Amino acid sequence: MEDRVSIDSVTKYYGSKLVLDRVSLSVRRHEVVCLIGASGSGKSTLLRCINRLVEYDHGVIRLDGVATEDPSFGKVGLYRRIGIVFQAYNLFPHMNVLDNITLAPRRVHGVARRAAEDKARELLAGFGMSEHALSYPEQLSGGQQQRVAIVRALATNPQVLLLDEVTAALDPELIGEVLRIVRQLKDDGMTMVIVTHEMGFAREVADRVCFLEGGRIVEQDAPSRLFASPQNPRTQKFLQRIIEAGRL
Amino acid sequence: MRPDAASPAFVGAAEEALTDSPPPPPARRRTSLRDQIVPIFTSLASVALFFGVIAYVVTSAPEWPRIKRQFFSLDAMIEAFPAVLRGFWINIQVWLIALVAIALWAMVLALARSLRGPWFAPLRIFAIVYVDVFRGLPALLLVLLFGFGIPALNLPGLPSSGLFWGTVAMILCYAAYASEVYRAGIEAVHDGQRMAAKSLGLTQWQAMRYTILPQAIRNVLPALLNLTVALQKDVALLSVIGVRDAVREAQIYTAQTFNYSSLIAAAVLFMLATVPMARLTDYISRRDRLRRLQGAA
Ligand SMILES: Nc1ncnc2c1ncn2[C@@H]1O[C@H](COP(=O)(O)OP(=O)(O)O)[C@@H](O)[C@H]1O
Ligand SMILES: [Mg+2]
């Protein structure tokens, strides 16, 4: 069983609005899959279905072959094994960096304070952020906050990392430092599903790119092929617009 | 031809830019002693003039000596002061006990109301009805109802003191307001915080306890302090059910001597307690606003 995550015909409605339409997608171990598409196409919703942050109506998602609604995951097993990072960082503003990172290990997974903090400091050091351990989020730049958010998602040793437009809220000069961490994670073999508007980055880091429109995966391929010669007319149109906007 | 890095013109321009020092900063306007003193003096003078005129108009009225005797008699104040101060100590005690009880009970109500899920519907409905009822009734009515009504029932096993039940009435009443303040604070916390907490595996309760509530309380602290000031004054309502608080003691003196200076003495005590709290509230609000401005920058 090579697939880390397998999404099988997932359908999701918000009220009567169809947001995901029979989406199927498999992500192999150590694979990096990028989701691209216009806003409102269902990228965030799909990402949040993977760790059941939102519930879907039909279909099944498996983690290492086990359906994610399986009781063996317990109440929090899925959240421990799948980390997610949001566009707006969503750090807890009243906690310093160390407390942000150790909250889940300590309060959810019962790790002793000392061990949790050691692990957090080790992670921070690994990403060159040791000096921020005791800072509060408001004292950090957007790029630093987002890097902390990534470390927080990694604190429980997840096997999959979901990134939802993690650079979209950042000033251009801060995007690089966040993308550098993502590259580093790829080199470490992390399995990732990444929603991004940074086409250059998607082309560089993705093993596979999926184009979504209207809640469906219209086309998926290796980035070299998808960006150079998209097969589907709708993918062509989307990429054409991106090129016109100077984003590719 | 476009100038590139190797062209002499470009190098020259760069060198010029480096060796030339930028224009100096604007000279700081030197403030002479006179410049500093004149504004202070002006405001002092205008304050003195403003209040001086008021004082003059009041004290030059033909009724002033009578007013002074009735309201501002130092002798009467000194005579009434021990009893009024003793009464004020009751105000402070009731206030402190009620504060703690209100903070806790209001929190329970606010949490009950913000719980999600069908199982919690009864708790939610209870909290909503409670707040509607106790916010809708005059505090005075509640104090009378509890302070006179319940002791009159002679219920076995329950205290029969008016002081006790009057305090309970204040707690029930103010908790309704305070729970609405808490709830506003809870609802103002950005939804992304809840989502982040959930994605980390925190339960609904843990998310509340560790992430939502601390932010909510910090945001509504000024509003809670305002309620605290209002409660400090409203404890005086207990005087209508015979609790010998500062107002009651002052009234007793007035009834015996037909002099109102004892009430003014009580008023001064209330001011001494509430004004510093009002300033503290201002200070915290200002600090929060500054922090938010810095956070946004
Ligand atoms: N909580 C929600 N309630 C109702 N509709 C939603 C909600 N979240 C997203 N949607 C709708 O679902 C669609 C897909 O949204 P989303 O997954 O956020 O798209 P994307 O991330 O690609 O921009 C949009 O039309 C959006 O309006
Ligand atoms: Mg989105």
ipTM, interface predicted TM-score of the complex = 0.93
- Ligand 1 centre from A41 Cα, in Å? 8
The model carries a pTM of 0.83
Phi then psi dihedrals of residue B27, to 5 deg = -60, 130
- Ligand 2 centre from A53 Cα, in Å? 14
A43 lines ligand 1 (CB under 6 A): yes
- Ligand 1 centre from B184 Cα, in Å? 26
CA–CA gap between residue B233 and residue B267 (Å, rounded):
10
The residues, ordered by sequence, that sit 6+ positions from A203 with a Cβ below 8 Å of its Cβ are A209, A223, A224, A227
Question: Is B256 within 8 Å of chain A by CB?
Answer: no
Between chain A and chain B, the number of residue pairs with CB atoms below 8 A apart is 57
Among A5, A17, A15, which Cα is nearest to A52's? Answer: A5
Alpha helices for B200-260 (secondary structure H): 204-206, 213-234, 246-257
State the amino acid at position B117 in one-letter form.
G
A42 lines ligand 1 (CB under 6 A): yes
CA–CA gap between residue A77 and residue B251 (Å, rounded):
67
Cβ pair A19, A215 in contact under 8 A: yes
- Ligand 1 centre from A83 Cα, in Å? 20
A186 lines ligand 1 (CB under 6 A): no
pLDDT tens-digit profile of B219-254? 899 999 999 999 999 999 999 998 899 999 999 999
Cβ pair B288, B222 in contact under 8 A: yes
- Per-residue pLDDT tens, chain A, 248 aa: give them: 579 999 999 999 999 999 999 999 999 999 999 999 999 999 999 999 999 999 999 999 999 999 999 999 888 899 999 999 999 999 999 999 999 999 999 999 999 999 999 999 999 999 889 999 999 999 999 999 999 999 999 999 999 999 999 999 888 888 999 999 999 999 999 999 999 998 989 999 999 999 999 999 999 999 999 999 999 999 999 999 988 887 66
Mutate to test the pocket of ligand 1, among A11, A14, A20 (most ligand atoms within 8 A of CB): A14
Nearest-CA distance A187 → chain B (Å): 24
Contact assignment for B201 to A103 by CB distance below 8 Å: no
B74-292 classified as CATH 1.10.20.10: no
Q: Contacts of residue A75 in chain B, CB cutoff 8 Å? A: 201, 203
Residue B9 pLDDT > 60: no
Among B259, B245, B233, which Cα is nearest to B86's? Answer: B245
Question: Is A187 within 8 Å of chain B by CB?
Answer: no
Please give the DSSP secondary-structure letter assigned to residue B258. Answer: S
Lookup: tokens for A134: 């005791």
A98 lines ligand 1 (CB under 6 A): no
Crossing angle for the helix pair A142-154 and A172-187, nearest 10 degrees?
20
Please give the DSSP secondary-structure letter assigned to residue B23. Answer: P
CA–CA gap between residue A176 and residue A169 (Å, rounded):
13
CA–CA gap between residue B275 and residue B145 (Å, rounded):
31
Contact assignment for A107 to B206 by CB distance below 8 Å: yes
Comparing A131 with B295, the larger pLDDT belongs to: A131
Query: According to the 3-state scheme, what is the secondary structure of chain A?
Result: CCEEEEEEEEEEEECCEEEEEEEEEEEECCCEEEEECCCCCCHHHHHHHHCCCCCCCEEEEEECCEECCCHHHCCCHHHHHEEEECCCCCCCCCCCHHHHHHHHHHHHCCCCHHHHHHHHHHHHHHCCCHHHCCCCHHHCCHHHHHHHHHHHHHCCCCCEEEEECCCCCCCHHHHHHHHHHHHHHHHCCCEEEEECCCHHHHHHHCCEEEEEECCEEEEEECHHHHHHCCCCHHHHHHHHHHHHCCCC
Q: What is the pLDDT of residue B18?
A: 60
A215 lines ligand 1 (CB under 6 A): no
Please give the average per-residue pLDDT across B3-25, as a whole number: 59
pLDDT tens-digit profile of B16-67? 556 688 888 887 777 777 888 888 888 999 999 999 999 999 888 888 888 8
Domain definitions of chain B by residue range:
74-292
Contact assignment for B196 to A109 by CB distance below 8 Å: no
CA–CA gap between residue A167 and residue A53 (Å, rounded):
21
Contact assignment for B203 to A75 by CB distance below 8 Å: yes
Cβ pair A123, A101 in contact under 8 A: yes
Question: Is A133 within 8 Å of chain B by CB?
Answer: no
Q: Contacts of residue B291 in chain A, CB cutoff 8 Å? A: 138
CB within 8 Å of chain A, chain B residues 213-232 = 214-215, 218
Lookup: tokens for A122: 């080790």
pLDDT tens-digit profile of B156-176? 888 888 899 999 999 999 999
A45 lines ligand 1 (CB under 6 A): yes
Sorted by where each starts, the structural domains of chain A and their CATH numbers stand as 3-91+159-244 (3.40.50.300)
